[in-house]
Structure 1
């Protein structure tokens, strides 16, 4: 009898530890000031962050990838991602994304693709300019149009907005992106259970976006447990924790400058 009681107690302790490990970060985020639980989406901030050049002031082609905390309580767990492209001399950006309320790939023309995501400022994940961007733009449009789960959306574990962005990036050689660990759904693979990472610097294994492991030069090591990511980044030293994201040096912004000679590998928080 004592042995059964001890085994049961030990199981409860293990389950509790796993629960704290998975949900501790999101709970910390909910308790902090960065997650707004009171604002209505219709009045939430949508101002520009100044990360995207104004079309009338930048003639060169541009490709950028963004992430921002999701709206309301969902922001405690993860981010929403999208892709913006501008052809040379174009007066607008094409923005590609999938949203829960549309449930399909949405393409829009915008002057400011770097607007806050309903109260949450965007983070720049990739920035390509000039001829390098021109070579990517057509492939991005083709991949977005061919997205195989266009009529399906599931917040967890996917397919969702991050599944779409990661899938498109994997279809476009040369488009390298270092996703934040809070991009839930990025590891929901649509073409099997193994894939090259979106940064093109390593490989990953994932089972339905719920369990997996990633090893790459840019991302470091990531372990996916029930869609939430733990990891260590060596290139830009940091711990990766569910909900919280990165603790350490800012992540790298991958891309290429307008002169197509200098790689853009900056650091951002």
Structure 2
């Protein structure tokens, strides 16, 4: 579902572990694809995880893997030609999936997997914009870490099938 920041904020439950799979369209001329990222909520404490095209952009970066490079809900920075030639007032965000639960839940296990393994992602120093590995490869790798999570990103999430 398409969500605004105010709607997203209402979904945060300080009593639960939550994993949010979010996406936004990629900038023109590649706007037929999407960029995905994961926001985890450890009982209300939010962290955003994603793979980005440039390396080591913040203090919590490991190669192309970044934690909290952008605020949890915000879309990423627009590219030069998008910023100056194809302006839009806001970027649409799509909430693909929410996985949530209490102690011992699938959501808690996924969060533990992310916290333990994201900085050791096997493709941490590789990035391929279109076919991967990219943000969609990373997101699908996280989703595939749990046998209970039967979520497959859509076909326009290019890179989701890249072998990790």
Instruction: Give TM-score, length-normalised by structure 2.
Output: 0.72
Moved over 3 A (4+): 52-55, 116-119
Which of 32, 41, 47 is the equivalent residue of 1:86? 41
Measured in 1, the distance between the counterparts of 2:9 and 2:14 equals 10
Within the alignment, does 1:107 sit opposite 2:67 as a pair? yes
> 1:163-193 CA distances to partner (integer Å, 9 max, x unpaired)?
1111122123323323122100001112xxx
Within the alignment, does 1:48 sit opposite 2:22 as a pair? no
Measured in 2, the distance between the counterparts of 1:116 and 1:145 equals 22
Measured in 2, the distance between the counterparts of 1:128 and 1:177 equals 10
Measured in 2, the distance between the counterparts of 1:48 and 1:171 equals 28
Q: CA RMSD in A?
A: 2.5
Measured in 1, the distance between the counterparts of 2:91 and 2:156 equals 14
Within the alignment, does 1:75 sit opposite 2:31 as a pair? yes
SS at match of 1:150: coil
> 1:85-138 CA distances to partner (integer Å, 9 max, x unpaired)?
1112x4x3111101113361001187x623344543111111022223223210
Q: Which has the higher strand share?
A: 1
Within the alignment, does 1:144 sit opposite 2:115 as a pair? no
Would the alpha carbon gap of residues 175 and 146 (structure 1) be closer, same or farther in structure 2, given more than 3 Å must change?
A: farther
Larger Rg: 1
Higher relative contact order (CA 8 A, sep 6+): 2
Would the alpha carbon gap of residues 58 and 179 (structure 1) be closer, same or farther in structure 2, given more than 3 Å must change?
A: same
Measured in 2, the distance between the counterparts of 1:95 and 1:174 equals 22
Displacement of 1:139 in angstroms is 1.4
Unaligned runs of 5+ in 1: 1-46, 191-269
